[in-house]
Structure 1
Amino acid sequence: MSRQDELGMLRIILEEQYERHSTQLALLARQARQAPGDEGDLAAASALTAASRRALGDIARALHYLEQGRYGTCERCHCDIPIEQLAIRPAAQFCTTCQPEAPHLSGS
């Protein structure tokens, strides 16, 4: 299978993920309107909403890059990101060599 074929398969995954996160955001918004919960419920819903919005942004960027023919290219070194890495994290922007260190989160 060619890289273009593999990227085409990843496009389908990205589109499915975009749809799933869009649906999740709509459900969270409806749930918040129908049944305001306690502070714990609100915090959890807020965290889920923020995570879905971030994911939608990442996925939208990846789909945009697919349209431009830049998808799967490291933003730092401009080499191809391995298909295996994209399959695990389709919205990846960097190859494993250039991937910035994740910030250390306190309490995690």
Structure 2
Amino acid sequence: MYVVNRQAELGVLRIVLEEQYERHSIQLALLDRQARRLRSDGADLAAASALTAATRRALGDIARALHYLEQGRYGTCGGCDRDIPIEELAHRPSTRLCATCQPEPRRRTGDGCDCRR
């Protein structure tokens, strides 16, 4: 699919995020059901708990992204006000900073952002 402008790209991303939210919601319900069964069996819950926590974090990230999309405040770097690439938003929906403005561990080079934060 060829996307013409930023608003169209964000519209496509909204659809993807809504689908991901639905998928994670279903996964969380299944994990909760599995955890109840494991508790009754006395099995180790560590792996199920870790997966449940990761799913809850993903749901929160996606919910925040959808909220900001709804408000028209999504996809702009909070450090330099440039557009965050759609690919980055799709990979990490909760990102609020471009790669240049990210703290050192996540920073990448060569994306064109010249802010000095």
1:77-96 correspondence to structure 2 within 5 Å: 77-96=80-99
Q: 2:15 aligns with which of 12, 18, 26?
A: 12
The alpha-carbon distance between structure 1 residues 82 and 64, as it changes in their structure 2 partners (threshold 3 A), is: same
Q: Unpaired segments of 5 or more residues in structure 2?
A: 107-117
- Mapped contact 1:10–1:90 kept (Cα < 8 A): no
TM-score of the superposition, structure 2-length normalised?
0.77
SS at match of 2:98: coil
Tell me, in whole angstroms, the C-alpha distance in 2 between the residues paired with 1:59 and 1:99. 19
TM-score of the superposition, structure 1-length normalised?
0.83
In the TM superposition, structure 1's runs of 4+ consecutive aligned residues that sit over 3 Å from their partners are none
Q: Unpaired segments of 5 or more residues in structure 1?
A: 104-108
The alpha-carbon deviation at position 58 of structure 1 amounts to 0.7
Q: Deviations over 1:45-79 (max 9, x none)?
A: 10011111111111111001001101101122222
The alpha-carbon deviation at position 19 of structure 1 amounts to 0.8
The alpha-carbon deviation at position 102 of structure 1 amounts to 4.2
Tell me, in whole angstroms, the C-alpha distance in 1 between the residues paired with 2:29 and 2:91. 26
User: What's the % identity of the aligned pairs?
Assistant: 74
Tell me, in whole angstroms, the C-alpha distance in 1 between the residues paired with 2:49 and 2:73. 33
Q: What RMSD, in angstroms, separates the aligned Cα atoms of the two structures?
A: 1.8
The answer for the alignment partner of 1:106 in structure 2 is none
Q: Greater RCO between the two (CA within 8 Å, min separation 6)?
A: 1
Tell me, in whole angstroms, the C-alpha distance in 2 between the residues paired with 1:12 and 1:102. 30
SS at match of 2:84: coil
Q: How many residues align?
A: 101
1:1-108 correspondence to structure 2 within 5 Å: 1-36=4-39, 38-39=43-44, 42-102=45-105
